[in-house]
Amino acid sequence: MPTAPTASSSPRGGGAVERCVGDPAAFVRDHWATAPLLRRGAGPDGFDDLLSLDGVDRFLSTMPRTPAFRLVKDGKPLPPASYTRPGTMGSQPLTDLADAGKVYDHFHAGATIVLQGLHRWWPPLRAFGRDLELFLTHPVQVNAYLTPPASRGLGVHHDTHDVFVLQAHGRKLWQVWDAAVPFPLPHQRKLPPGAETPAGPPLVDAELAPGDCLYVPRGFRHAARTAETASLHLTVGISTRNWNEVLREVVELATEEAWFREGLPVGFAGDPAALARSLAERVAELRRFLDKVDLDRVAEGAARRFWAGRAPLLRGQLHQLLALDELDDDAVVRRRPGAVCRLRVAGDRLTLLLGDRELAMPARLAPAVRALLADGGKRVGDLAGLLDAPSRLVLVRRLVREGLLEGTPKPADGA
């Protein structure tokens, strides 16, 4: 039975998932990985704050490069040469610049425009995706699909990851059936023979309007098409890490044992019965080994790899760096939205895991760091009971420089 992350295992997060599904606990209990969910009005004003039609238009006008975008028609990708052009950047020749005129010609002829990896470079979706990650503790990726009227991007298919579909503009008809391949492996992208035509009524048969959200678990067959209007929707893919991966790591530890690396006996292929007897002995040895594995260490390593992949979101960091010397006791700082920080105290050492970087500090700084990470802003001078003036300024400036904290604007005189 899947369980929701707790405050002790996940730092913040939840606003984005609430926007998608309403009650996060009910979603995890009743739908996560097991059943689709349609939520009307998840974004009462649509999802223009995440990506609008104007945003897509502005992006294409900047001549982006593939693979940041691609075109698909009737379920098949169009050759990039049919909608790109050559150019130069400095003295470097390029061959994959978007030709906006050709892109729009294809769109007018029924092709879907796909913007890829938006969680990496579109600021609103970087923040939205990070908030989802902090709650789910699974990696998130975001693509956008702009489909012309009376068109179908892909036929009946299933994904190897869970998805949230956020309808941003226009309307799109969605149908979702049960799972063709329960919990598919990453390579199981093709449906089994006969599964392309689902039997029975769909679990979801609905037209999504701006602001609606549809959750589709991995493996569930689905299809979508537009009717009279064009459609822009966001697909938030969740690359769920599964037990297979973690258990493989446990077994992999046995490869350090000498008996695990011994070669099979001479003539093993001629006597399968003798090989089976020897195999039983080795399996018994493996069981004894697994009983001694430090599972806490394996679990900590799996968690650490997730957090280490969440690099700081540094929008506005240039202004923060230029204002570092202005930070004083009257300055108010707060935890940067989406920032990851895992604290570990061992002896006289405090370790902070900040996504893709790690800081080591004296353990005596732990109370001050925890105070700075608390909800809401913190006035630097309020750390006076924990640190002297020079020490608290050094600490705050270092954490701002690392992207964990950000300074907030000082109120105007007389405010």
| Domains in the chain with CATH codes | 15-238 (2.60.120.650), 243-293 (no CATH), 317-407 (3.90.930.40)
What is the pTM assigned to this prediction? 0.88
d(CA 363, CA 349): 5
From first to last of its 415 residues, the chain has per-residue pLDDT tens of 334 333 333 345 569 999 999 999 999 999 999 999 999 998 767 799 999 999 999 999 999 999 999 999 988 899 999 999 999 988 999 999 999 999 999 999 999 999 999 999 999 999 999 999 999 999 999 999 999 998 876 678 888 899 999 999 999 999 999 987 777 776 666 666 666 667 789 999 999 999 999 999 999 999 998 888 999 999 999 999 999 999 999 999 999 899 889 999 999 999 999 999 999 999 999 999 999 999 999 999 999 999 999 999 999 999 999 999 999 999 999 999 999 999 999 999 999 999 989 999 999 999 999 999 998 889 999 999 999 999 999 999 999 999 999 998 766 555 4
Residue 177 CA to residue 152 CA, distance in Å, equals 17
